[in-house]
Every structure is written in structure tokens, then in C-alpha cells.
Structure 1
Amino acid sequence: MAERPATGRKDRPAAPRLRLDELLEDLQAQVAQVRATRDRVHALLDAVLTIGSDLDLDVVLRRITESAVTVVDAEYGALGVLGEEGQIKRFITVGVDEETIKAIGHYPEGGGILGLLIREPEPLRLADLGTHPESVGFPKGHPPMTTFLGAPVRVRDRVFGNLYLTDKRGGARFDDEDEAVLRTLAAAAGVAIDNARLYEDTRRRERWLAASSDLTRGLLSGTDPDQVLYQVAATVRRLADADLVTVAVPFDGGDELVIEATDGEGAERVHGLVLPPTTLAAKVYHSNERVSSGALSEEPQEGGGSAGQIELGPGFLLPLGGSEHVRGVLQVANLPGGQEFSEATMTMISGFADQAALALEIAEHRREADRRMVLSDRDRIARDLHDLAIQRLFASGLTLNSVLGRISDRPEAAERVRRVVDDLDDTIKTVRNTIYALRERDREGARGLRAELLAETDRATGVLGFTPALRMTGLLDTGVPAEYAEQLLAVLRETLSNAARHAHATHVEVTAETDGSRLRLRVADNGTGIDPGVTRCSGLANLHRRAGDLGGSFTLGPNEPVGTVAEWTVPLPVEA
């Protein structure tokens, strides 16, 4: 039998085998795609769990940004938090080191592509950032970026901020799946941010209630309201996490305020500072309206106020008390570069300020009632001294006078009785003087040393051409005897006159202070300084004499960087 040719038998399985290989390759590709999708879903779930596992807002924002970079496999990522006016107030970055951030400078405020996403809060995907019409380029030092993917983060139907991602790893473009994943993550981020904010608001409210309770309890337990102002400043600084808090209260019958309590950075430099009517604090006091600023030291205040003494950044000022009776002005500020205060923080501090003002008013009513009780007791004591003690002493004196006639023949005894009568007369005079002092001590309308200091600096304005800065600390009204106060005012008039006539200064700072044991006046100017050719001056001799008469000292030296500093210091008597 002839054999069949074998060529056809070897070639037949080739086509089915190639088809099977293609099916296996497709199956492997689909398995790889399923695995990649599974891994991405797992990564997304892990990201959702990560951003929702903490209630600290700063931590949550950082985790959101890091998770967004991970789930879409981007090189760089950022979360721009929007402020009240639609500008970026915080910018959290991932993928850029600290040195690069410092080289770039201030974070973006919302221009270019970032601003487009703010105006149109919808997901945005670009193959090349530079070719888009809204692109404004990158600042100097910024790393180059090409592909872009952005999505808004909404919290209860309000855009909280935007996620910005650039440069997908491997040089690929962001695709539909990347966009879908980012939108899902943004939705979860909104829930996490809302929870963190609610938790933060709850904690803030708890701190506010605890602080209000402590303040009210302290005031109603008899704490001096002046001391409570320091407690208010410290509590507000802690609640707002601020760098500096000041409390300014008004002078009686004037438009000026004085900073009575401070807490924070540079507090000692502004404590006791008098605020003229041109400052923001005075405007808030008279308008009874809150004022906020991104840079307090750049506000037009004619160089007055704490912002003229210390470089201040974002902050706000609000009235301390209701519309009927504003008791002062509360200023809360951060140093330049610090964060701006949120509306929630300002609202919380405003509520605390109202509570503090109410507690202060109740405490002052209580102190006034106590003062009236003391005055009533003084009147009663004065009446008793007049009606009982003086009358009995006078009657005793008359009785002794009548005895003198009976013992005229006994000169030694008569002289002793006469001395007793003279002592009784002196005692009656002393009691009468005591009665007069009791009735005159709290006479209404008396001007204190603080008011006199303010009046002197106001009078010097016309001669100097500007208002001197005035700072007053300590119990100047109640702790300084009248004769010491008169000498201090005379020294102030002389030094201000010298600054106007000889120094040609453009700035003068006056400091009057007492710690209970000494009284100190410091007048510093930025004028021409001490003329070495002047060897004798009657005005300076008077200043030395006024200090020497009270056991104190007077010094005159150079100011830094230019000008003169005059210091007059005297010890106070122990009974003061």
C-alpha cells in the first residue's frame, strides 16, 4: 500500500494553538486589570479609612492630600483651603521639599488654573498645564509640572477647597478612572472634614463654657475686676491660639483708651499704652462694630496703638460689651505670617467677650455696693465721733476747767489739769480732722494722676506737632501721694518742653509707672540727642533737684538708635 503524505497532518494544529495563546494572553491581561482595579479599590478604601481615623482638622487635611497622591499615583499634590472671599487661605503640599517651598515664597492665592477650579468647582483634567488659556506659568524655583487633575472638596454643599494633582508617575496621562477615584476620595474627604470641624467646634465650645464659668465664678467671688482683665486676656489667647491679646478700657470723660491687660508676644511693650482716637481700637469702641484685618500693622492708624509698637499680622478687634455700654476693646492678633482667624473663632471670642463684659458689670455693681457700704460706715463713724466722742471730750474739758478755779491755791495740781485740758483740745482737733478726712476721701470729681498725665501729653501736642506716645502702669491714681504726683507732672512738663525746643524730635514716648515702692517717669525721643557743648542748663538742674528732694535720682542719656532718654525715679513712702 502506498503511504499518505504527512505534510497536511503537521500543519493543522497550528491555527488552534495560536488562537489559544491569544485567549490566554487576553485572560491574563484581564486578570491583571482586575487585580489592578482590586488594588486601586483597596488603596481607595485604605485612604478613606485613613482620612476618617482622626478628628484633628490639620491631621485630616494632611492625610487627604497624601491619600490623593497615592490613589492616582501622582508625583505632586496639594489641597487649597478656601477663605471667606474665595481665595486660598491654606495650601497643604505633598511631594515638594521645604527648601523648594521656601524658594517659591508665598503659596498661591488663587490665580491661573487654580483660580479656574475655584470659579468653576468641577473636576478638571489636562494633558498639559502650559497650553491651557488660563495658565499663568510657575513662579521662580517652582518644579516643572505637565499633566493635571483637580477636583473640589465639598462640605455640606459648600466648597471647602480643591485637590490639585500633577504629573502622573511613569509619564502617563490621568484617565477617567483616575478622575472617578479622585471624585470618590473628595466626597469621603468632605465627610471627614465635616466631622473634624464638628469635633473642633464641640471642643471649642467646651473650652468657652469652662472659661466663662471660671471667669464668672472668679468675679462673683470678689476678685478685683482689674485683675480679671488679665484673666480675660490670657483666656482669649488660649481659646483663639493667638500670639497677642490686649484689653483696652476708656478713660473717664475722654475719647482715649488705655491698654490695661495684655498676654502674649511683646505684651510688656504695649501694657499701659494710651490709644489716641485715631487707632482702630478707638474706632471699634465708638462704632461698637468688629474689625478684622490681614495685616494690622499696615492699617492706617497714624502710628498709634499696639500695632505701631509691635509688627502684627492677621487679627481682629471687637467691643467688650453690648451696644448700650461698651466697656472696652479686645484685640486678638497673630504675628506676621501667622494664620488668619476663622469666622467660627471670631464668633466664639465675641460670645466670650459679651459674657466677660456682663460678668464685669455685675462685679462692678457689687464693688460699687461695697464702696457705698464703706462710705455709709464712714459717715456713721464720723457722726458717732462728732456726736459722742467730741461731745464727751468737750464736756470733760469743761469739767476740768471748772475744777481749775477750785484748786487755784495748788499751782502744781492746777498746771497738771491745765495740760490735760490742752491735750483734750488737741485730741478734739485731731478727731475733727479725721472726720473731715473720712468725708472728703471719696469726694466725686477729683482728677487722678492718670488723667493729669494724659492732659499734659495732650497739651504738649501743640508744641511738638504730634501726640506723644503714653504708657502708664501700676496704681498711679491710688498708690502715689499728691505731692509726688505734682513733682512728676512738673518733671514731665519740663522734659516735653525740652524735647520740643531743643531736640527737634518727631517721636516721643512717655512711660509712667509704679510698683508700690517707687515712682518712675521715662521720656524718650528720637531727636538730635544731647549737645556736648551744653554744660549747664537750669531746667536739668531743676529736674535733679526735684528728684533729690524726694530721695530719688534723675539721669539723662542717649537713646537707641538716636535721641535722648530722661529717667526720673523716686522712692515712695511706705504708707503710700
Structure 2
Amino acid sequence: MVMLTREQLEDRLAALHQASIELVGDLSLDTLLERIVTLACQQAEAAYGLLALVDEEGRINRFVQHGMTEEEVARISRPPQGKGLLGALARQKQPIRLADIASDPRRVGFPEGHPPMRSFLGVPIVLGETLLGLLYLTEKRGWSSFTETDQRVIEVLASYAAHAISNARLYQAVLERDRELVQRNEDLSLTNDIAVTLSSSLELEQILDKSLQRVMEYLNVEAGEIWLCEEGSAYLRMALHKGEAAAAFWSRDAFRLGEGFIGLVALQKEILISTDLAHDMRYLRTSVVEAGFRSMIGIPLMAQQGRVVGVLGLVSRKHRTFEQREINQLRLIGMWAGISIENAWLHRRARQVAVLEERERIGMDLHDGIIQSIYAVGLVLDYARLSLRENPVDALAKIDQAINGLNRAIRDIRAYILDLRPRQFRDSETLSQGIQRLVDEFRANSTTELAFSLPEEDFETLPPASATALFHICQEALANIAKHAQAAKASVTLWGTPERVLLEISDDGRGFDLG
């Protein structure tokens, strides 16, 4: 055995100190562990080395080896279990140095395929009272066993390694925390965007398009689709596809409830995931598989009272897995989207009912008023035709009566035109221009004489909301004059002061009873 002089030992420890300082600055845990075990083998001249990290109960949860090739590692039947000498090292938290492993009763033997080893040096990596890992070396090069000096050097290295591992773990924890915060912010951003989209519109097509686009961007998938349940049937039909390979997805646009992947999502009311579409018996569209898509997630769109209104499908060309966090987020989006789709359907039905009711009202009004008036004119003209020879004066009076009746019918029809044709205040026009347009339309469709007084100023500084309100007030007032007032004359006056804008509308019609 060769003994080191004091100077040689000091030089060795100084070199170790310099190398260890560099270790403490390495914040990547993977490279740090490799550097520690490599440095240990170099310092103690060991052929093999292993650094194992342990959990709170002393079980090995991660290890890095040095000295064996990948082929040699592959031949070993099982990884280190933390038993035998490693278990004793973890329990005692004290170094173990042996000339021959086989002579120690604590050994449990090597697994099948493990290379033979004799000399052993094991040192615990401890920070305070906490065991972080185990560092052991075998097969001292050129010597029968490791020396006391080797042990002292590796103990010093283990002390540095403990601080380096602790720093790297703290750094990894900070990075993981940052990743979680970034992901949480992305989740909140998606939630906010979807909420704004779903709450800002009752138009079904807009809800579907914006929601699908945003979810596809969030999950970074190449294609997405939305299927909607047909009312009164057991079928789902594809309402929207976005992304790649549109023809492949549209190759089949309907499934029965419980049929195929989409039908099963709707039937089971649960999220389904497939990571291998080519061998998934539930997936029936071979054209999508042939287009290169491999994985898919289907989300039921749930409305109130647990009713399924559709399915959201997201498809990727990659072998895509989904974290529980993503699944929870998609389940929430499915509930929101389902309720919004149901609301859009209800809104559409309400509009259809309103249109039908308005058509019925117009029909009744025409039947009760204008049509009866025209029918009466026909009777008067028929009477005039029969009395034309015997009493021409009376016949002419009846003709005048018929003409007046037709004029009244024309006025009524014009009033309906004014009442039914919607007009909007245009962004490109001023208040004066908008009121002028209403006056021009009234004059074109009514026999009432209308006077209009307009100042030179255009009220350009008037807030848009106030201008729109005045426009609609004038619109409604003129419609009421044309339809109900029976006025011969009317007037619209618009003027302003430095503090306000005023609009006055008047007519000489019959008015109404305040009582």
C-alpha cells in the first residue's frame, strides 16, 4: 500500500476542493449526479461507481452509475434495490470500507449479469440530519482495497455533493413552480377567452368556431371537430371541422348515439381518449387514420340537467397523451360550451317564434284593415258600374268614394312599410345626416306633410351612444305618426346649445286619451 505524504494529501484535497466548487454551481440535477460519481471514481481510482438518491424512507428512487457500458448495464437482471450493504449504509449514515465484499455478512449478493467486484467504499450523502443519497465505489485500481485516505477524500466530496444536490433540487423546484404558474396562467387565459366567447354571442356558428379554434391552439393539435345532436333523432352530425385533412374528416359526417368513438362519448357522457387510432376498434373513420392521425380526445358537451348536446373532438398526428389537468380543463369547457349551445338553440327558436307571431299579426292586421278596405272599394266600384247608366251622378260619387278608399289603403300600406323596415344609425354618418335620412324615407312613404329644421352644425362632438339614442327616438316617433296619428302635417326640429342637443317632433294628428 502506498502512503501519501502530507503535501500530496493537501494537493489532492485542494484539487478536490476546486472541482467541488464547480459542482455546487451546477444546477442541472442530471449532469450534477454524473459529475459527482465520475469525480469520485477519479479521486479514489475506482473502476466502478454508483450514486443513488433516496426518498424520505430511504428507498432508491434515482441512480447514476459510472464504469459500465450500456451493454453491461443491460445484462444486469435488476437495478439496485437499496438492500444489503446499501441498506446498511443508509441506516447507519456512516462510511463502510471493505477489502472484500464477499466477507461481509450484510451483503445480499449481486444480481444476475453483474460484473464481479471485491473492494468496496460506501459513503452516505447527508445534509444536516437528512440522508440525500448514497455514493459507493468498487474495484480499487492497482490496489487490493481502498485506503483511509480514499475514504477521507470521498467523505469531503460527499459533503460538497450534499450541498450541490440540495441546491439543484431547490432550483428544479423553482423551475417546476414557474412551469406550474405559467401553465396555470395559460389555463386561466383559456378559461377567460372561452368565457368571453360564450357569453358575448348567441349565434351558434360563432360560438362553435371561436371555441374550437381557441381549444386547438391551447392543446396544439392539428385538427378539431364539433358534433351536434340532432333534435328528435339518435344521430350526431358534424357541424364544424377546423385544421388539417378536412376531406378525411368529412368522409363520414354522422354517427348514431353509441356508434364509433364520437357516438360512445355522447352515450357515456364521459371524456374518452385514444392514443392509437389505427388499432382502436372504437374509431371507425379509416380515412383519418390514413391521413396520419394517431391520437384523439373526445369531450361531451353537456347542457343543463345532464343532457348531451354534442361532442368536441381534438385529433393529433402525434402520440399525444393528456394530463389530468388538461382533462379537467376540457371537461369544464365541455360544460360551458354545452350550456351555450343550448342557449343559442333556445334563442334561435325564440326568434323563429317571434317571426311567426309577427307574420300572424301582420296577416290579421291586413285582413282586418287593408284587405277589408280594398274589398269595400271593390263593392263600391261594382255599385258604380251598375248605376252608371241610370244615375251617372251617383255613380261618379261612388267612384270618388272608391278613389278615397284606395288612397287610404295606400297610406296604410306605406305605414306598414315604415313600421316593418328596420333602419340603423350608421357609423359613417353624423346625427344630422341620420335624421335627414329618416325624414327622406318618411316623405317617400307617407302622405303626411313633414317639415324639417336642421342647424348648420353637425354635432360631431356628441357621444355615439347619445346620437344613436336620438336617432332611434326619431325613428319610432315618425313610424307612430305614419301608422296611428292620421296627421296632415308633422315637423322634426333638431337644434343645440353649448350644453345639450334637443330634438322636437310634433304632428297635428288625433293624439290619444291620457285618461
TM-score (norm 1): 0.45
CA radius of gyration, larger in: 2
